[in-house]
């Protein structure tokens, strides 16, 4: 069972009961769930976890809600794949891909929303809400459907059609706001004050964020109960980055893995890179940016957890990197062409970011590296479509096919021996 | 009466401007600073505003017009 015991302010350390709240009443610092790890010692073992379900809920003891109350649509325990082809391209001998594209709504957001919706139901909310540019909206709508809750999902009116359908199919109240992301932000902040809804990334944010830890847990288990040498993670708010590291540390605290100096490095798109920019300036001060990048799922201009991401990065001897939109597309193509995984733009940021980090000597060639691919490419097809070769257009006869193939490839392939 | 928790982020050129003093002087709003961090290059202030809802809205519009970024406290409301 869950051993979550309090919410604690990350700034002043004041503690609060487990309730729907995300900000310290005293200093307005962010709240985080704290656990009674001592109560788990001896009770949680490698064997007990391995005997659990093949989902993120095999780590329920380390989440703030009991497994039997979970809103579970089959999220997590996604593949950790050895990536020899991409590794060869990048110059890494022990590269792994954590493929979180294969979650039920095709992104890692299912992990955080699975926890947030479970907690929201425990707190007897009847409505699950969010503001999102895509992945989160899809996941909130799906989990609300499963939980029998109402969903209210707010999106900017000019969002791409594919992302709208990916939410609309679950029949939420889908609200297309006539305005910019900032306008949607403001509206939802005001709605959160007025209506008794569980806004997954506002009033239940401390619980929501905990779901990301399971990525860290899974990677260690899948590596044979050891921590990786180096993690490469996409950064938006910075929350995912810090929680993956927390997940790894938790397993070490519980004695399920040996202590290991895992390095944490983060990647952003240059058009919205406030954390990487602060890292480059050797500063703790995040300068807010107005996002201008195709990597929209990472486009948070004033990241709430940016400072904590910098802290994790520097304390683990990791680093930050930012890549251009052209590199984002190259990264998507490189991953698809070498390992057969079609990632969304955030995956392109990670692969191209990793390529740069290796070239600059910031990742060692023989490190056990895990690249976190957090969303599937079908969601952001428009980003990569212009860079792809068109299909060969042929008539239904061999001559037409061979002519087209010769024009494209210069030579014809060998025919069967007669 | 309403209360709003908010974060102001100042760019370098605005750090020396007494924006919060002007806000309290020109609008019927009580300002209550809870935490702040100001350096040579940038500054942020987390504060609570108390007053009539519309007056708070007008005061925040004015703060934005001065070039200060106004965000909710510890919330990335729009996510990916």
Reported as a single tens digit per residue, the pLDDT across A19-74 is 999 999 999 999 999 999 999 887 899 999 999 999 999 999 999 999 999 999 99
- Do the chains contact at B75 and A22, CB–CB below 8 Å? yes
Q: How close is the nearest chain A Cα to the Cα of B63, in Å? A: 15
Q: What's the rounded Cα separation, in Å, for the pair A251 and A222? A: 13
Give me the pLDDT at residue A1, please: 75
* Spatial contact of B74 and A24, defined as CB atoms under 8 Å apart: no
pLDDT tens per residue across span A200-211? 988 999 999 999
ipTM over 0.85: no
* Bridge partners for A232 per DSSP: A265, A371
> Which CATH code for domain A124-203?
3.40.50.1100
Q: Which residue of A has its CA nearest to B33?
A: A27
- Do the chains contact at A181 and B71, CB–CB below 8 Å? no
Q: Report yes or no: B50 at the A interface, CB cutoff 8 Å.
A: no
Q: What's the rounded Cα separation, in Å, for the pair A60 and A42? A: 16
Q: What's the rounded Cα separation, in Å, for the pair A80 and A75? A: 15
According to DSSP, residue B71 is labeled: E
* Bridge partners for A376 per DSSP: A343
Q: What's the rounded Cα separation, in Å, for the pair A192 and A156? A: 17
Give me the pLDDT at residue A134, please: 86
Q: Is the pLDDT of residue A181 over 90?
A: no
Percentage of chain A beyond pLDDT 70 is 100
pLDDT tens per residue across span A66-118? 999 999 999 999 999 999 999 999 999 999 999 999 999 999 999 999 999 99
Give me the pLDDT at residue B75, please: 62
- Do the chains contact at B74 and A236, CB–CB below 8 Å? no
- Band of pLDDT at residue A156, cut at 50, 70 and 90: confident
Q: Which residues from chain B sit within 8 angstroms of residue A134, using beta carbons?
A: 80
Average pLDDT (B39-66) is 92
- Do the chains contact at A28 and B75, CB–CB below 8 Å? no
Q: Which residues from chain A sit within 8 angstroms of residue B34, using beta carbons?
A: 26-28
Average pLDDT (A239-268) is 97
Q: Report yes or no: A195 at the B interface, CB cutoff 8 Å.
A: no
pLDDT: is A180 or A166 the higher one?
A166
Give me the pLDDT at residue A120, please: 97
What length is written for chain B?
A: 80
Q: Which residues from chain A sit within 8 angstroms of residue B72, using beta carbons?
A: 185, 189, 202
> Which CATH code for domain A80-105+209-386?
3.40.50.1100
Q: Which residues from chain B sit within 8 angstroms of residue A289, using beta carbons?
A: none
Poorest-pLDDT segment among A189-193, A342-346, B47-51: A189-193
Give me the pLDDT at residue A45, please: 95
Burial of residue A103 (number of CB atoms within 10 Å: 0-12, 13-18, 19+)? buried
Average pLDDT (A223-239) is 97
A residues 38-97 near B, CB within 8 Å? none
Q: What's the rounded Cα separation, in Å, for the pair A132 and B78? A: 5
Q: How far is CA A62 from CA A67, A93, A323, in A?
A: 10, 32, 34
Q: Which residue of A has its CA nearest to B3?
A: A193
* Sign of the alpha-carbon dihedral angle for A74, A77, A83, A86: positive
Q: Report yes or no: B36 at the A interface, CB cutoff 8 Å.
A: no
pLDDT tens per residue across span A260-315? 999 999 999 999 999 999 999 999 988 888 889 999 889 888 898 999 999 999 99
- Band of pLDDT at residue B74, cut at 50, 70 and 90: low
Q: Is the pLDDT of residue A248 over 90?
A: yes
**Continuous segment of H or E residues that includes residue A328:** helix A325-339
According to DSSP, residue A40 is labeled: G
Listed in order, the ranges of chain A carrying CATH 3.40.50.1100 are 80-105+209-386, 124-203
- Tokens for A366, please give them: 């023989």
pTM of the model: 0.93
* Bridge partners for A266 per DSSP: A233, A320
Quickly list DSSP for A246-282.
HHHHHHHHTTSS-----EEEEEEETTB-HHHHHHHTT
Q: Which CATH class is domain B2-72?
A: alpha beta
Q: Which residues from chain B sit within 8 angstroms of residue A299, using beta carbons?
A: 80
- Band of pLDDT at residue B28, cut at 50, 70 and 90: very high
- Band of pLDDT at residue B77, cut at 50, 70 and 90: low
- Tokens for A147, please give them: 């939980």
Give me the pLDDT at residue A244, please: 98
Q: Is the pLDDT of residue A128 over 90?
A: yes
Mean of the per-residue pLDDT values for chain A?
Answer: 94
- Band of pLDDT at residue B76, cut at 50, 70 and 90: low
Give me the pLDDT at residue A133, please: 80
Q: Report yes or no: A22 at the B interface, CB cutoff 8 Å.
A: yes
Whole-angstrom distance between the N-terminal and C-terminal Cα of chain A? 68
pLDDT: is A181 or B46 the higher one?
B46
Q: What's the rounded Cα separation, in Å, for the pair A343 and A332? A: 6
- Do the chains contact at B77 and A30, CB–CB below 8 Å? no
Q: How far is CA A365 from CA A172, A267, A330, B24, B31, in A?
A: 47, 18, 21, 57, 54
Residue with tokens 């008794």: A196
* Spatial contact of A412 and A196, defined as CB atoms under 8 Å apart: no
A158-184 exposure pattern, b = at least 16 Cβ within 10 A, e = fewer: ebbeebbebbbebebebbebeeebbeb
Q: Classify strands A173-177 and A150-156 as parallel, antiparallel or unpaired.
A: parallel
- Do the chains contact at A236 and B79, CB–CB below 8 Å? yes
Q: Which residue of A has its CA nearest to B80?
A: A297
Average pLDDT (A403-412) is 93
Q: What's the rounded Cα separation, in Å, for the pair A240 and A200? A: 15
Long-range Cβ contact pairs of A39-46 (< 8 A, separation 24 or more): A39/A3, A40/A3, A40/A254, A41/A254, A41/A255, A44/A254, A44/A256, A45/A256, A46/A221, A46/A225, A46/A256
User: How many other C-beta atoms can be found within 10 angstroms of the C-beta atom of residue A403?
Assistant: 15
List, in sequence order, every beta strand (DSSP E) within A135-293: 150-156, 173-177, 198-199, 230-234, 263-269
- Band of pLDDT at residue A167, cut at 50, 70 and 90: very high
Average pLDDT (A229-241) is 97
């Amino acid at each position: 069972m869950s051993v979550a015991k309090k919410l604690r302010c990350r700034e002043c350390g004041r503690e609060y009961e487990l309730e729907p709240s995300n900000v310290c009443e005293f200093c307005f610092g962010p709240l985080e769930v704290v656990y009674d790890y001592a109560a788990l010692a001896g009770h949680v073992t490698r064997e007990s976890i391995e005997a659990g379900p093949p989902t993120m809920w095999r780590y329920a003891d380390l989440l703030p809600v009991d497994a039997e109350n979970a809103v579970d649509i089959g999220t997590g325990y996604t593949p950790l794949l050895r990536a020899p082809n991409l590794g060869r391209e990048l110059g890494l001998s022990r590269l792994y891909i954590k493929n979180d594209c294969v979650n039920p709504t095709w992104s890692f957001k299912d992990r955080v929303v699975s926890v947030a919706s479970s907690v929201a139901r425990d707190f007897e909310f009847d409505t699950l809400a969010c503001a999102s540019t895509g992945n989160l909206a899809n996941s909130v709508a799906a989990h609300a459907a499963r939980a029998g809750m109402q969903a209210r999902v707010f999106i900017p009116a000019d969002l791409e059609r594919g992302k709208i359908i990916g939410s609309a199919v679950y029949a939420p109240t889908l609200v297309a706001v006539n305005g910019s992301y900032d306008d949607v932000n403001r509206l939802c902040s005001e709605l959160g004050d007025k209506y008794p809804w569980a806004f997954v990334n506002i009033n239940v944010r401390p619980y929501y964020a905990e779901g990301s830890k399971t990525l860290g847990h899974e990677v260690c288990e899948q590596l044979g109960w050891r921590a990786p040498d180096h993690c490469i993670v996409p950064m938006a708010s910075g929350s995912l980055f810090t929680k993956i590291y927390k997940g790894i540390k938790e397993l070490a605290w519980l004695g399920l893995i040996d202590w290991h100096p895992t390095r944490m490095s983060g990647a952003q798109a240059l058009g919205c890179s406030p954390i990487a920019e602060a890292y480059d300036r050797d500063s703790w001060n995040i300068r807010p940016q107005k996002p201008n990048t195709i990597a929209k799922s990472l486009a948070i201009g004033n990241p709430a957890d940016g400072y904590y991401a910098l802290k994790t990065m520097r304390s683990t001897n990791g680093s930050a990197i930012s890549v251009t939109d052209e590199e984002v597309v190259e990264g998507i193509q490189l991953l698809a062409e070498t390992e057969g995984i079609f990632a969304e733009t955030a995956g392109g940021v990670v692969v191209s970011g990793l390529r740069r980090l290796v070239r600059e000597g910031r990742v060692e060639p023989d490190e056990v590296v895990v690249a976190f691919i957090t969303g599937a490419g079908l969601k952001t097809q428009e980003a990569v479509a212009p860079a792809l070769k068109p299909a060969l257009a042929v008539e239904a006869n061999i001559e037409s096919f061979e002519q087209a193939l010769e024009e494209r490839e210069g030579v014809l392939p060998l025919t069967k021996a007669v | 009466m309403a209360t709003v928790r908010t974060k102001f982020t100042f760019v370098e050129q605005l750090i020396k401007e007494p924006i919060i003093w002007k806000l309290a002087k020109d609008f019927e709003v009580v300002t209550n600073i809870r935490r702040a961090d100001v350096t040579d290059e940038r500054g942020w202030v987390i504060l609570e505003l108390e007053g009539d809802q519309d007056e708070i809205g007008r005061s925040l519009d004015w703060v934005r017009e001065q070039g200060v970024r106004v965000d909710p406290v510890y919330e990335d409301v729009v996510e990916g």
